[in-house]
Amino acid sequence: MVILFVALKQKWVRLSAIKPASDKLLEFLVLFFIPYGVGLMVYFDLIKEYWFPLSIAVIASTLLTLYVTGIILQKSGR
């Protein structure tokens, strides 16, 4: 994904060349989340027991990702 992003930004690859494939992936995106939903049901007891540390980890990792992405975008001149 990073290589594709760089290729699109540098105009090495045209968006029209990958649009049909990306549209097809978006069409079936729901299917990619089925294993995630099944995993939530299978490990519900474990998640119920450790919901607080899991919530903190999810929030912290999300904020860290946003922060690092912001720094990278600022340094790239966007």
Q: Domain extents for the chain?
A: 1-30, 33-78
pLDDT the model gives residue 48? 94
Q: Is the pLDDT of residue 78 over 80?
A: no
Give the Cβ contact number of residue 68 at 10 Å: 10
Q: Is the pLDDT of residue 36 over 90?
A: no
pLDDT the model gives residue 52? 97
pTM exceeds cut of 0.75: no
Give residue 56's Cα distance to chain centre. 18
Q: Tokens 């069409």 belong to which residue? A: 27
pLDDT the model gives residue 47? 92
As a whole number, the mean pLDDT across the chain is 91
